């Protein structure tokens, strides 16, 4: 009897140690999840680099800065921390990035001449290699805030063009950071292609398109990441100034030797439709499964989450811990 009592006490002591271990493990897991939640809650540090000329007052710096300021004040400043810089002088980007770092750099680049030197391009490569390797290539950005018509008065009708921009930068931010390059048709893609080819030497913006309603968005990354946007509002904006560039898609090799696939996020055939569909915006990640008509008047529901919520992770950890203890207890009782 004395031996049996001693064995039970010893056995209970081992179980208590296991309980303490599991409690510590669970608390540690909660701390990790909490840190991740705090990381998610931090603002997306965004540099808006404007190398676009004013084009006789059509694209004044004030108009370009409106887009950066929209991000900075979006949702009371809780999502983005945006900095606007306008410069057409080679070398200024590299100097700035020597003492500043960002999660996302937006290149507002619609020029007929080069705007970056070798030091600038090296700084862009450094940003890319520092974990900010997601790419978004936008052949529609130039007309989003120019002095032309009601649909180009940013943030657009129903704030659709502002919403599109917020969704774009948010997608780059939540994926770990990256680079967005925005431009216009083939009259003025020189600086955009400078930036792009620093990362993907064989990729390029090309062409001039005339949108038709024969087109679609793939997934909701552009239409409902942080705010819902109706595709029809975006189409009407593009259709009012038919000058979209063709964004590159397909498999490329980056300057590090890695294969990078660019996927179409939105495409359309030239008016009146029925022909080849050209990509307007492409990304280095796969879009969602939904296919949404480019002239749909209603915003889509967001794509389902691709990763478990923090509470799901905690639940799995707790379940695994209880199952582990139960199995250990059964073994000791045998």
Per-residue pLDDT tens over the stretch 236-294: 999 999 999 999 999 999 999 999 999 999 999 999 999 999 999 999 999 999 999 99
Nearest to 180 by CA among 97, 270, 292, 68: 68
Give 41's pLDDT tier (boundaries 50, 70, 90): low
* pLDDT at res. 140: 98
pTM tops 0.85, yes or no? no
Q: Are 302 and 225 in contact (CB under 8 A)?
A: yes
d(CA 155, CA 103): 23
Distance of CA 320 to the CA centre of its chain: 34
Nearest to 97 by CA among 129, 65, 61, 68: 129
């Amino acid at each position: 009897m004395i031996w049996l009592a001693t064995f039970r006490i010893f056995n209970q002591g081992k179980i208590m140690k296991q309980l303490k271990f599991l409690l510590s493990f669970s608390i540690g897991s909660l701390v990790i999840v909490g840190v991740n939640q705090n990381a998610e809650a931090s603002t997306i540090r965004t540099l808006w680099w404007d190398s676009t000329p004013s084009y006789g007052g059509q694209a004044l710096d004030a108009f370009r800065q409106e887009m950066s300021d929209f991000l900075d004040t979006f949702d009371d400043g809780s999502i983005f921390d945006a900095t606007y810089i306008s410069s057409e002088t080679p070398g200024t980007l590299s100097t700035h990035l020597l003492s500043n770092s960002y999660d996302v750099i937006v290149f507002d680049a619609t020029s007929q001449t080069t705007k970056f030197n070798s030091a600038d391009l090296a700084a862009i490569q450094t940003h890319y290699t520092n974990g900010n390797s997601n790419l978004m290539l936008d052949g529609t950005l130039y007309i989003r805030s120019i002095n032309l018509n009601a649909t180009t008065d940013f943030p657009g009708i129903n704030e659709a063009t502002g919403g599109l921009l917020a969704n774009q930068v948010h997608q780059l931010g939540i994926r770990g950071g990256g680079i967005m390059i925005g431009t216009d048709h083939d009259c003025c893609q020189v600086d955009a292609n400078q930036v792009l080819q620093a990362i993907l030497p064989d990729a390029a913006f090309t062409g001039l398109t005339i949108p038709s309603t024969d087109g679609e968005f793939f997934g909701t990354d552009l239409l409902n990441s942080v705010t819902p946007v109706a595709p029809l509002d975006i189409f009407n904006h593009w259709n009012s100034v038919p000058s979209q560039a063709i964004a590159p898609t397909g498999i490329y090799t980056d300057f590090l030797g890695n294969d990078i696939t660019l996927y179409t996020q939105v495409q359309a055939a030239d008016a009146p439709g029925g022909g080849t569909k050209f990509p307007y915006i492409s990304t280095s990640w796969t879009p969602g499964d939904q296919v949404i008509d480019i002239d749909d008047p209603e915003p889509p529901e967001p794509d389902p989450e691709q990763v478990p919520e923090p509470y799901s992770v905690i639940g799995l950890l707790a379940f695994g811990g209880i199952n582990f203890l139960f199995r250990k207890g059964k073994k000791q009782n045998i």
